Amino acid sequence: MKLAPSILAADLADLGEAARLCEAGGADMIHFDVMDGHFVPNLSFGIPVLEALSRRTELPIDVHLMVNEPEALLEEYLKAGAARVAVHWEATRHLDRTLQVIRSAGARAGVAMNPATPVEWLGDLLPRLDFVLLMSVNPGFAGQSFLPYTLDKARRLRTMIEDFGVEVEIEMDGGLGRRTIRDAVAAGVETCVAGSAVFGSEDPVDEMNRLRRIALGETTE
């Protein structure tokens, strides 16, 4: 299990401190939510903030582009320090080409899917990507409730990955915390994004350790 705290839920006036907390808590990567106010109703941060953050941390940055036509600025995000980039299935026409651009820059290429988008629609793309980011809330905001039906999508996707015989990682994003993270991992999720569960807690470092123990079934609370 890999933990990817989402700094969208951190103190946005102090992202350097958020990165330090992620390192102290043993996070595997930092999840970076980009929103354009069109694909999702909210706005967050973009390329200059990514550049600044990547100067402050050695952790890989996992960029989640919740933007229409992500290909327009893709190369800028890659240059700014993204180790992984997920584009939304619903937001781009030429997914195959977009994934090739990400991989050819040396980053890991992912496709994010809204809760309402069936995993079966990935079809022939599965051997052409590194990870699938399954949304377990409707994208746009931190702090929403987990949608339990997305667990079945993770299980179906795990079966598809095995049938294809490919190495594709499943990441889940939205509403993951003490009460939901174990179910996600049991359904085949390998990378868990957690925003408000981590940064809304009194002690984010302690919470990261706790979430990891719960996810691995070492404790229930």
HEC readout, the chain: CEEEEEHHHCCCCCHHHHHHHHHHCCCCCEEEEEEECCCCCCECCCHHHHHHHHHHCCCCEEEEEECCCHHHCHHHHHHCCCCEEEEECCCCCCHHHHHHHHHHCCCEEEEEECCCCCHHHHHHHHHHCCEEEEECCCCCCCCCCCCCCHHHHHHHHHHHHHHHCCCCEEEEECCCCCCCHHHHHHCCCCEEEECHHHHCCCCHHHHHHHHHHHHCCCCCC
Which of 14, 33, 62, 130 is labelled catalytic? 33
| 173 is a site residue for Zn ion (CB under 5 A) | yes
Could you give the string, one character per residue 86-105, with x where binding to ligand DX5 holds by CB under 6 A and - elsewhere?
A: --------------------
Q: Which residue is nearest to ligand DX5 (CB)?
A: 195
Which of 36, 62, 130, 173 is labelled catalytic? 173
| 134 is a site residue for ligand DX5 (CB under 6 A) | no
Annotation marks residue 206 as catalytic: no
Closer of 36 and 173 to Zn ion (Cβ): 173
Residues 164-183 that bind ligand DX5 (CB under 6 A): 173-176
Binds Zn ion (CB under 5 A): choice among 21, 35, 64, 74: 64
- State the minimum distance, in angstroms, from the CB of residue 143 to ligand DX5: 5
Annotation marks residue 173 as catalytic: yes
| 68 is a site residue for ligand DX5 (CB under 6 A) | no
Binds ligand DX5 (CB under 6 A): choice among 29, 61, 82, 137: 137
